[in-house]
Amino acid sequence: MRTIRRLYFYLVAFISLETIVWGGVYLAQTLFKNSLTGQPSELAGGFSLVLVGLPIFGLHWWVLQRDAAHDEEERTARIRAFYFYGVRLVTLVPLVISAMSILNRLMLQAVGLNPSEALLGGTETLADNLVIIGINLVALLYFEYILRADWKINPAVAAFIETRRLFRYIWMLFTYVLMITGVQQILFAFCSAMGINNLSNQVTLANGITYALLGTPLWASIWFSIQRLLPQSDEGRSWLRLVVLHLLSLTGAVTTIFSAYMLLRDLGLWLTGTLQTPAIFVSEHNISLSLLVVMSISWGYFEGQLRKQVALEENPVERAAQGRFYLYFLAALGFGFLFTGLFWVGRILIDLLLNTATVPALREDLNGATAALLVGLVVWLGRWRRAQVEAYQSGELGEHTRRSIVRKTALYLAVFGGVVGVMAAAGSLFFLVLNSALGGYEEQFVLELCYRLEALLVVAVWLVYYLMTLIKDGRFLQAALTQRYAAYGVTLLGLDEAFAQEFKQTLQRIAPGMPVNQLNETESLKSEDLQTTQVLVLPLELAVKSAASPDALLAAFGGRRVLVPLPVEGWVWLGQVPHSRRDLARQAAQNVRQLAEGLPIRANVMNPWMVALVIMGVIFALQLLFVFVMMGVSLLVR
């Protein structure tokens, strides 16, 4: 209840604060423009926002401050931290944008251009921007004062530390966008000027310089501030940093790859006959070239930072896992280009073999297919080879890679896409053949037949390759698990025969070859019985009694223990859902198998929220399947 109350008060305080700020901005701008002679509706609008917001904000903020002064839990609540850093963000962003608007118009005026052409604030006045800066600055300074006071009282609150880290990265991303936009606009203007140097290029250059002049120092200050904090363990190893570095690296990678494809495609056209000078070519591809230069530098830098971040992880298995999503994402992107190129080349070859088109007529298609193949091979081959080497190396790292959720998801998605593609291509082919056999007219039947056969062949190669990779993974994994099972000894201690038989049958079914030793009483326990035992399965009752009067061998046993909460007369196990002996035996066998495979023990009782998520997932999967079936039907009917 306190959380809901807290959420209500901070949310209302935030909304009412923004109402006051922007109501005050609107009112002040109206007064500066028209004094008191303006439209009544404009003055009434600003006054009404301020008059509504002030009492609501004052009441709720007074309650929040009173609670924070008397209750440490209120003062250190995470939502309070979110409020302060959220206010900092929503006041700093208008400050920076207004400052950029002023600088942008001044830059255009300095070079004799129309200030209304400014990328930001072209229709605003100096008074408009100063009002926004002034009112937001007042709000920012007030809440910064309160925030600093909270930091002095509680300097090591995890909620505030984590929220501050989140703010830093959000602010870094905002200033990064400003800087990248500015540099890209400058390069765009220079590339455009190589063809035709007109007024538009000068405006773009001035806008780009404004963004770069303000965005670069802001980004550099926050980024190097973040970098200086990396020696601190909580900052250097935070998952937030890893996520942000993945985001920046992948953004740079995707933009660079698509820009490179478009440039290679059009470069081929230019080299094979388009009458253009190099300057005109650069001018006409100003967007692709400027994006390629800027985002490739960004990609290289942040990929290097990502590698350094991943290298901080000492555990090689975890280190490989942290960089796996990035690796497989780029491999999937490269494969998409490669598949498109192969499909495109196949169609071109069919056109040439059937004389339906000539090489000059297919020049654009040839260059597009060649560019897609080149980009796809470069991106996919390097990443996929690295992924395969990592997956099939011997030892624990290779085994964990083959069992990783990222690799399994990537392979199953590839197989799923291949199966759906084969279904669609085969359905389209059968429809063409049957329609023709039944007397339906199909223009250029042979050409369409070859097209659809080629599509089926390419998608079938895709499916077979990834299906064989998935099968190979399964074989390697099964061989590794067989070795693990054979070397993982299990000892049953003090368990009745019915339980032991059910346990052995279940274990041999799910983990064949795992040796099981059964001992009925602790009195008969000998040291040699535990020499080859990695996990000891015993009743919870026996473990409790052993703790009361410890057995030397049990106390010295260094392996894992699985405690079975069998019902005992007069004993009550708190927190346990009643299960039959058969169910307990099966659960114990499942837990032993998970321990042998090095997996975390999963809870046997599913959370109700997880049940709801599973149901929603099944419904979504059925809807997705329905969409694909309808797509296939539409191809057949077409």
pLDDT tens for 15-27 read 999 999 998 888 8
Helix, strand or coil for residue 23? helix
DSSP assignment letter at 381: I
- CA-based nearest residue to 264, from 335, 368, 363, 365: 368
Dump pLDDT digits (tens) for 72-129.
888 888 899 999 999 999 999 999 999 998 888 888 888 788 888 787 777 788 888 8
Q: Residue 418: which pLDDT band, with cuts at 50, 70 and 90?
A: very high
Close Cβ partners of 163 (under 8 Å, ≥ 6 residues apart) = 78, 81, 82, 84, 85
Dump pLDDT digits (tens) for 580-628.
778 888 888 888 888 887 776 665 544 555 556 556 666 666 665 556 5
What pairing do the DSSP bridges indicate for beta strands 490-493 and 535-539?
parallel
Per DSSP, the chain holds a count of helices (H) and strands (E) of 23, 4
* Most confidently predicted of 65-74, 147-156, 347-356, 464-473: 464-473
Q: Are 257 and 376 contacting, i.e. CB atoms less than 8 angstroms apart?
A: no
Least reliable range by pLDDT among 524-528, 533-537, 565-569: 524-528
pLDDT of residue 413: 92
* pLDDT of 163 higher than 60: yes
Residue 492, strand partner residues: 518, 537
**Percent of the chain residues past pLDDT 70, beyond the cut:** 83
Helix, strand or coil for residue 82? helix
Mapping DSSP onto H, E and C, the string for 235-298 reads: HHCCHHHHHHHHHHHHHHHHHHHHHHHHHHHHHHHHHCCCCCCHHHHHHHCHHHHHHHHHHHHH
Burial class (CB in 10 A: 0-12, 13-18, 19+), 423: middle
CA-CA distance, 72 to 27, in Å (whole number)? Answer: 39
Tokens of 12: 């209302």
Sheet holding 535-539, edge to edge: 516-519, 490-493, 535-539, 560-564
Least reliable range by pLDDT among 67-76, 355-364, 504-513: 355-364
Tokens of 356: 């339906």
* pLDDT of 632 higher than 50: no
Q: Are 384 and 334 contacting, i.e. CB atoms less than 8 angstroms apart?
A: yes
Mapping DSSP onto H, E and C, the string for 464-476 reads: HHHHHHHHHHHHH
CA-CA distance, 176 to 245, in Å (whole number)? Answer: 12
Tokens of 138: 């007042």
Burial class (CB in 10 A: 0-12, 13-18, 19+), 460: middle
More confident residue, 556 or 494: 494
Element (H, E) at 516: strand 516-519
pLDDT of residue 468: 94
Q: Are 92 and 167 contacting, i.e. CB atoms less than 8 angstroms apart?
A: no
pLDDT of residue 628: 52
C-alpha dihedral, 176 to 179 to 180 to 183, nearest 10°: -170
More confident residue, 442 or 399: 399
pLDDT of residue 363: 78
Burial class (CB in 10 A: 0-12, 13-18, 19+), 175: buried
CA-CA distance, 579 to 452, in Å (whole number)? Answer: 57
pLDDT of residue 489: 84
Q: How far is CA 168 from CA 187, 329, 528, 539, in A?
A: 28, 26, 59, 52
Between 396-403 and 382-391, two packed helices, what is the crossing angle to 10 degrees? 120
Instruction: Determine the residue type at 615.
Output: I
Dump pLDDT digits (tens) for 180-239.
999 999 998 888 877 666 666 788 888 888 899 999 999 999 999 999 888 876 777 788
**Percent of the chain residues past pLDDT 90, beyond the cut:** 32
pLDDT of residue 320: 84
* pLDDT of 525 higher than 60: yes
